[in-house]
Amino acid sequence: MSPKRFTPAVLGVLLIPEDPEQLLDLSEAGLTTSSRMYWEHAKKLGGIEDGKASKTVHLPRSNLFDVGGLQGIMQVIGEGGQW
């Protein structure tokens, strides 16, 4: 990651069901999805080795991007912390 970066970079991976018909459900109660998203700060992932075209990364299950996770991120930022 560039030391000149002002805005933190984040990798987000969205896992979706194999059957696209199961991805979204729209009803009177609302719109729901059966997908999940996990995230990680790019600076924790490290770089790609010289001569390599890609890298396998592992995202912690604790970094689930859901309502609770988003509220936690917003609370840290709101209290002046580094997210």
pLDDT tens sequence across 7-24: 778 899 999 999 988 899
Q: In this model, does residue 1 exceed pLDDT 70?
A: no
Whole-model pTM? Answer: 0.73
Buried b (16+ CB within 10 A) or exposed e, 33-60: eeeebbbbebeebeeeeeeeeeeeeebe
The pLDDT, as a whole number, for residue 2 is: 61
Report pLDDT digits (tens) over 22-34: 899 999 999 999 9
Average pLDDT over residues 24-50: 92
The pLDDT, as a whole number, for residue 82 is: 74
Average pLDDT over residues 25-54: 92
